[in-house]
Amino acid sequence: MLQIFRHGLRGLTRVLIRVIREICVKKKRMGGRMAEKILSNKYRKAELAKIHIAKKELGKSEEEYRDMLWILCGVRSAADLNSAQRRDVLEHLKAEGFKAQKAKYPGRPKNMTPENSRTAQLEKIEALLTIGGKSWAYAHGIAKRICKVEKVEWVKANELYKIITALRKQAQREGWALEE
């Protein structure tokens, strides 16, 4: 465990590769190659998502996008790109003006829209989390413990009050500045 802290994320990745490699060898699968494949797939999905977000933000048509891929890498689909090609495409898109942005509220439920009837309760939860300096991961933990679901967005509308109540009780215990 000390190795992870000493080497940071790179150390953690190495430890994960080692653990996955051991699991794969025990299951007599592809040996150590399976570990790299599992981790590289995670990065592949993230990079492909960034490429498609950039395409949308830059307003590229499907034809322009596929022509760009063909000129840069000799492929017509982003799915056919290897890791070096994906990085090249991302650099090209950044040179064209794409700026990757972090989500305003990481972990915020996707079903939190103005026309949704649950929105008022979800906004109340968000306000309580903000006042208490807690993340959405904290609310997901409450949902898992109380409502037996993994995420707040999966909680039924008639059970959201349980999360609000739990956050209010936490606010009383910790002395958050709640104003009614």
- Predicted local confidence at residue 149, as pLDDT: 93
User: Under DSSP, is residue 78 helix (H, G, I), strand (E, B) or coil?
Assistant: helix
Predicted confidence at residue 113, as pLDDT, reads: 59
pLDDT of residue 70: 92
Single-letter residue type at 160: L
Which residues of the chain register pLDDT less than 70? 1-13, 16, 19-40, 102-117, 179-180
- Helix axis angle for 2-26 and 33-58, nearest 10°, is 110
pLDDT at residue number 84? 87
Token code pair at residue 4 = 């992870």
DSSP 60: -
**What integer pLDDT is reported at residue 4 of this predicted model?**
46
Q: Give the pLDDT score at 140.
A: 94
